Chain A
Amino acid sequence: MNRRLCVRGQLQRGDFTLDINLDLSLEHTTGVQGVTGAGKTTLLRVIAGVEPAFQGSVHFGNECWSDSEKRINVPTYQRGLGVVTQQSQLLPGRSVQANLDYAMRRAATVEPCLSFGEVVAGLHIEALLTKGVETLSGGERQRVALAQALLMKPRLLLLDEPLSANDERQRQQIGERLSTWVAALDLPMIFVSHAPEELERLTRHLVVMQAGVIAAQGDTRAVVVADRAAIQTTLDDAIRTVSARVLRVDPAEKTLTLAWDDANNLSGALVPDSHVLVRIPRENPSASLQVSLQSEAPQNQSQSAKGVQTQGLAGNEPDEEQ
């Protein structure tokens, strides 16, 4: 089955511009990552066909879902999607069971699918079936929404932070089950999240969005590792780590007196009331002590810098004696 997804075009909303040129094979589950406001949700909504302001085209397989130039727009309900949004709105005034029935009754019947019992048990919602949706917690609502999306036998799953309101254990369990299901059904899935671990667990291809454009994409693991390296480099640039020796600890004055090695000339790097981070080993406090100097002065320096003094060894005059 051809399941290539192509999205090309722009969307302008106030200061925000989404500018997308995306071609996904969807052979493997695909993740979308990015900070808040990067356009992940908007991209998903464009694919789902609920962003009328989008100028461009969306193709899935051999089908044209939308093309603003040719004035083609296949309505959302005919696209065969399973969608879960961040604030999933269940249908109000109905029980969980009625919400699931609603989805099943409108399901496209051609695709292979999971049984009702399997989904309900797998997502831990058996006990909720008779409850009204108004009484559910955020996490429960998300799981019911996910069940709806799976039970309507979609051709493509679009999940936008579908488990964000569940605790870590639930996220892991449900994530694993979801992986098994989409693999068994060979169901293409796009999973939006800002949690790298979750994306690493659930997806094999990753699209990274930044300020409305695709900043990077590739194998999830490679992208996540590269991302971590980039973060580390940024940290390394901002922070200089020096080792020092503790001379005096005065619990009454909450004052710490440090001595640095000759190799680290810190006379210009530290000024009174500047902010430093002191990293102390938990296991063996006498082993070593690291002081991190941040290149930028933080705002609440008076509080955090209090009580740390540095003193030069071998004749270096201390910057400040209190």
Chain B
Amino acid sequence: MTGDLQALWLTALLAGVTTALLIPIATPLAWWLANATSPLRSGVEALVAMPLILPPTVLGFYLLIFLNPDAALGGLWVSLTGESLTFSFSGLVLASLLYSLPFMVQPLQSAFRAVPKTVLETASFLGASPRDRFWSVVLPLSKRGFLTGSVLTFAHTVGEFGVVLMMGGNIPGETRVLSIAIYEHVETLNYDAAHILALGLVGFSFVSLWLVYRFAGERVEVVRG
């Protein structure tokens, strides 16, 4: 049971760190996607949405290839931090950032698109620079987008399984998150323990989505997960 509590804590930490890091990463990206007229936009949009349809095992497989200590990127990380990116918590955070990116970017992008151009124009008539307009007009009007993006990112990271299995494995306190713990309980025929965790996750997912619909209104389109 202590192992499961540890898994619960690790999962919450992973989801929290991922959400906190994704907000500053996804905000400029979503703003660019919402306003860009560049032909590159559709390409970037497709890349951002890739984790929605790509099997998590594929993502996990490539991360394993590129992040292992013998690869250039993974080796660089080892020489900088002395820690490996595969089979480690940092590696899981990096993987989750990629895996959950669309869940943060897409709600933000539609929130930014919904800010009327005329309102931005008015703010510029009132002497606001583009940066000023973003902070004083766009952000307050996009609160719901941030709420939706954060809840979905958090919940989606909690449900991560394939990627973790591929590149994280099952190291208690390091990479053994809830979904892995459930899998292990089932493998060892410990159905009671599996039930507790599984039911907990069902409840958690429901509450997350309820929060989104309750506070973010009907304008939100929940992306496929």
Contacts and interface: CB of A to CB of B under 8 A. Distances in A.
A179 B124 CA distance: 25
Contacts of A50: 121, 124
Query: Which applies to chain A's interface (DSSP): helix, strand, loop or mixed?
Result: loop
Contacts of B124: 50, 75-77
Query: Which applies to chain B's interface (DSSP): helix, strand, loop or mixed?
Result: helix
A274 interface: no
B190 interface: no
Interface residues of A, number: 24
Given A102-B136, A106-B132, A89 B121 contact: yes
Contact of A77 (B128, B140, B141): B128
Interface in B91-122: 116, 118-119, 121-122
A293 interface: no
B122 to A, nearest CB: 5
Interface of B: 116, 118-119, 121-130, 132, 136-137, 140-141
Nearest to B126: A103
Contact of A107 (B118, B125, B127): B127
Contact of A93 (B121, B122, B127, B140): B140
A90 B125 CA distance: 11
Interface string A56-82: 000000000000000000011100011
A76 B136 CA distance: 17
**Which 10 A-B pairs give the minimum distances between C-beta atoms?**
A106-B127, A83-B125, A76-B124, A89-B118, A89-B122, A103-B126, A77-B124, A77-B127, A89-B119, A77-B129
Contacts, number: 54
Contacts of B137: 91
B128 A89 contact: no
Nearest to B118: A89
A109 to B, nearest CB: 11
Interface in A70-120: 75-77, 81-83, 85, 87-93, 102-103, 106-108
Given A82-B125, A83-B125, 4 more contacts: A75-B124, A77-B125, A85-B125, A106-B128
A258 interface: no
A33 interface: no
B122 A90 contact: yes
Contacts of B116: 89
A91 B119 contact: yes
Nearest to A103: B126
B118 A102 contact: no
B39 to A, nearest CB: 18
A294 B127 CA distance: 54
B53 to A, nearest CB: 36
B140 A152 contact: no
B122 A76 contact: no
Contacts of A30: none
A244 interface: no
A76 B132 CA distance: 13
Contacts of A90: 122
A189 B130 CA distance: 26
Interface string A223-250: 0000000000000000000000000000
A107 B128 CA distance: 9
Given A91-B137, A106-B132, A81 B122 contact: no
Given A91-B137, A92-B141, A93-B140, A148 B118 contact: no
Nearest to B127: A106
A91 B122 contact: yes
Contacts of A107: 127
